[in-house]
Structure 1
Amino acid sequence: MKFKDKVVVVTGGARGIGYATALLSAREGACSVVCDLDPDGVEAAVKAIRATGATALGVVGDVSDRSSVAENVAHVIAEFGRIDVLVNNAATQVPAPARELTEDHWRRELDVCLTGTFFWSQIAAVESMIPRRSGVIVNVGSGAGLAAAPNTASYVAAKHGIVGLTKALAVDWGQYDIRVNCVCPGFTWTELARSVSEARPEMMKERVSRIPLGSGAQPEDVANAVCFLASAESAAVSGSVLSVDGGTSALSSGYSAPRDGT
């Protein structure tokens, strides 16, 4: 088992890619910690993981609030004594044309996606990984961290920042035997994607048709990549960025440039 007796924390773990990662790590022997802003989602995710016979803990918190992150980290360490693996998955995205972006919109997406990733990484490292000279951090970026998508300037900026942060932390913390890597999912069939598909089926059909492999990823596909980078199977890998996008980034961003009035 890849994570036997390891403590794996997943932020944004109540649904989608985060939940798939928490569940897979638990099946691989981890004590799986689900962190999310949604208390009902945390409760449901933990209940489902425990139903498989695995160990799970839920913590509710806002990744953009440093004091909340510190409390969550302290809770996990009090329960399990350490954090072996941190998966920074929490994110938010509300598309809007760049000319219409408000300061609050800009700050919220940067705070959750990028600053939250830094807060969790720094506090988990300082409180557990650096003293133990051991740890793995996997940041969940996005295809938007490698190429621009229309009407998502703050999200694109945040996700590009995650790619840079991954490389910086890998360099700074390699001396402590902490590995830091990034997974960049492309189009993935999360709950949100399915709801958009139901509302705009033709648009979604066209979007998926641009993927070289011809289909979007499942959350489990991304979770498999995350767990590979989090496990001893990738012991010599740090500072790397792995795309899980069906070949999209090899072709283009997968989107058409926006045009006013269209």
Structure 2
Amino acid sequence: MRFTDKVVVITGGARGIGLATASLLAREGAQTVICDLDRTAVSAAVETVQREGGRAYAVVGDVSQSKSVSENVDQIMAEFGRIDVLINNAATQRTVPARELTEEHWRRELDVVLSGSFFWSQAVGVASMIPRRSGVIVNVGSGAALAAMPNSVSYVAAKHGVIGLTKALAVDWAQYGIRVNCVCPGFTWTELSKSIAEANPELMRQRVERIPLGGGAQPDDIAQSIAFLASEHSREISGIALPVDGGTLAMSSGFSAPRD
């Protein structure tokens, strides 16, 4: 198994891609640490992993607050003594035309998506990976990290920043034996996308039709790609942004331009 006794932290791990990743890595021997802002959801996620026979540990915190992140990292270090893999998955997204976007929502998306990824990377690097001269960080980007999506200016800006963060840390921390990469999921059937499909099936039908491989990804498909970049099977890969989008980016961003 690729992650036997590795301590793996997944932010935003209570649902969707984060939970699928926690479950997969736990099945492959990892001690998973699931971090989320929602205490009830993170407890339920831990129970899910444990029912599947995996090991999981809950941490409640806000990735956008550096103090909260530091406290979470201290808690994990006190419990396990090290962090081998960090997966920065936590995100939030508000779909609204740019002219209507408030400062509050602009800042919140950048704080969670971009600052949160940096705060966790910095705290884990300083506490464990740099002193041990070993570690892997996988940032979860998006198709929006590689091409624009309509009415998502703050999300697109934040996710593009995640790729910049990935490349910068990959260069700065290679000297410590730390690899940093980014997985960029395309359309994925998470709880959110399913609810959108129920509310607007025609819009979703059109969206899915634009995926060359068709159908859209499942959370486990993205988890498999994260696991690859987190494992020794990719030990010479660092600083990349890997699209996992069924060929969408190869054709286009997958969306039509908005029209008033």
TM-score band, normalised by shorter chain: over 0.9
Structure 2 residue 105 is the aligned partner of structure 1 residue 129: no
User: Which residue does the alignment assign to 2:185?
Assistant: 185
The 2-side partners of 1:179 and 1:220 are apart by: 22
Letter in 2 for 1:196: I
User: Which residue does the alignment assign to 1:218?
Assistant: 218
SS in 2 for 1:34: strand
SS in 1 for 2:10: strand
The 2-side partners of 1:81 and 1:52 are apart by: 25
- Structure-to-structure mapping, 1:127-206, within 5 angstroms: 127-206=127-206
The 2-side partners of 1:168 and 1:33 are apart by: 25
The 2-side partners of 1:76 and 1:166 are apart by: 23
The 1-side partners of 2:47 and 2:118 are apart by: 28
The alignment-based identity, stated in percent, is: 70
Structure 2 residue 36 is the aligned partner of structure 1 residue 36: yes
Letter in 2 for 1:188: T
- Structure-to-structure mapping, 1:57-68, within 5 angstroms: 57-68=57-68
User: Which residue does the alignment assign to 1:8?
Assistant: 8
The 2-side partners of 1:42 and 1:75 are apart by: 16
The 2-side partners of 1:125 and 1:92 are apart by: 24
What CA deviation, in whole Å up to 9, does each residue of 1:47-95 have, x standing for no partner?
Answer: 1111122211000000000010001101111111100000000000010
Cα shift at 1:214: 1.1
SS in 2 for 1:207: helix
SS in 2 for 1:203: helix
SS in 2 for 1:10: strand
SS in 2 for 1:137: strand
Cα shift at 1:215: 1.2
Structure 2 residue 250 is the aligned partner of structure 1 residue 239: no
What CA deviation, in whole Å up to 9, does each residue of 1:30-59 have, x standing for no partner?
Answer: 000000001011000101111122211000
Q: Aligned pairs, how many?
A: 260
List gaps (5 residues or longer) in structure 2. none
SS in 2 for 1:26: helix
Letter in 2 for 1:40: T
SS in 1 for 2:86: strand
User: Which residue does the alignment assign to 2:24?
Assistant: 24
What CA deviation, in whole Å up to 9, does each residue of 1:208-241 have, x standing for no partner?
Answer: 0000011100000000000000000000000011
User: Which residue does the alignment assign to 2:108?
Assistant: 108
The 2-side partners of 1:214 and 1:55 are apart by: 34
Name the Cα RMSD after superposition: 0.5
User: Which residue does the alignment assign to 2:56?
Assistant: 56
The 2-side partners of 1:222 and 1:169 are apart by: 22
Letter in 2 for 1:109: E
List gaps (5 residues or longer) in structure 1. none
